Structure formats: C-alpha cells, structure tokens
Amino acid sequence: MEAVVFDMDGVIFDTERLVLEGWAHTGKKHGIVGTDEVCRECLGTTYEISRQIFLNHYGADFPYEEYKEEMRSYFYQAIEKEIPLKPGIQEILTELRKKNYKIGLASSTRRAVVLEELEKAELTEYFDVIIGGDLLKRSKPEPDIYLMACRELSVEPQKAYAIEDSYNGIRSAYAAGMRPIMVPDLMPPTQEMEEKSIVICSNLMEALQFIETK
C-alpha cells in the first residue's frame, strides 16, 4: 500500500457534533423540528446536496441560506480559540509520514475552508494533496473525489486506504476501488458499512495499528 487519504470532519476534526448542535440551536430558535435527523442524512455531502436535503424535508420555501449562516455563526464561535482534534490524529499523521506513505485529504467541505481549518490546527504540512468538495460536480457517495485524490497522489486506488466516518464517505471510497477504513463518529456501522469497509476501527490509533500490520 502506498497512500492514505483522510476525510476531514469527523475524522481529523471533532466538528460534526458542533454542526448538529448549531442546527439544533437554530432549529429551536425558529421552531424547526427534526434537524438532528436531517443533518445526519447530510454527513459527507457538499453544501449543494445538503441544501437540497433540507429543502426536501422542509419545503422549497425553507430559507436554508439564512439558517445556515446562523448555524455557521454558532459553529465558528465554538471553534474560535481552537478546532477540536479527533484523538490520535497527530500520531497517525506523524507515523504515516515517517513510513513514507503519501497522504491526502478528500473533504466535501469547500477547499478554502479546509485549508483555513488545517492551517489553524497546524496540520497542513502533513498532506501531499488536499481536495475540497467544490472542485467536483458530483459529491460523495459518488467516487469522484477519491478518484481525483488518487490521481493527484499518482497512486492506483487499490493501493490506497481511505479513512472515513460517514456512510457516504465509505460508499465513495468503495466505489473508487480503494480500501476503506471506517472510524465511526456520529453514525454507528451498519451491515452495509461492514461489507464495504475492509475494517471498522474504534479510533484512529486502532486504524494505524491495522495499517502497520499490512
């Protein structure tokens, strides 16, 4: 194996719970119910796909952009001082670099935001390739973002691991022909995830141990 490609939210940063909290705060303020369930359906998708999911649930006149900004205000206030890291991320990145793995990032988040958050957390230097969701037309669960990451890393997909927490992310990596490793965050593994993942790990250090034994 030659490369490891990471998702960002829920894998590198412990931020997905803050998104849920932000939407719950906004929903309570405006009398919107069910945001938690809708947000979980959006995990691993782009802004455009998430917007459509909200409109499908709440109607075409749902002011998504307005409420999204309120959620973002809550989110950025929460991470103003420090972006919470997932346990083990510094260790796994350091060890992969020592072992000369190519390291990529494939996030559905806009690339400018990805770069800003990585820079703030002082993690940018670990990544050889950084792909944002706005660079492609099709979002996860389509394989496009992982295929692009592999092309940019100059590795065949079957020679690369993908570390993901979301269902859509695992589906995307699997469809790309990679070797998906699931490290669940907000969503527990299902039978489908067990079938599409080569292993399901409880944390990043367990994922590192798996990679080191292969």
Q: Is 7 a catalytic residue?
A: yes
Q: Which of 9, 144, 165, 185 is catalytic?
A: 9
Q: DSSP characters for the chain?
A: --EEEE-SBTTTB--HHHHHHHHHHHHHHHT---HHHHHHHHTT--HHHHHHHHHHHH-TT--HHHHHHHHHHHHHHHTSS-PPBPTTHHHHHHHHHHTT-EEEEEESS-HHHHHHHHHHTT-GGG-SEEEEGGG-SS-TTSSHHHHHHHHHHT--GGGEEEEE-SHHHHHHHHHTT-EEEE--SSS---HHHHHH-SEE-SSHHHHHHHHHT-
Q: Is 134 a catalytic residue?
A: no
Q: Which of 7, 144, 165, 185 is catalytic?
A: 7
What residues act catalytically? Answer: 7, 9
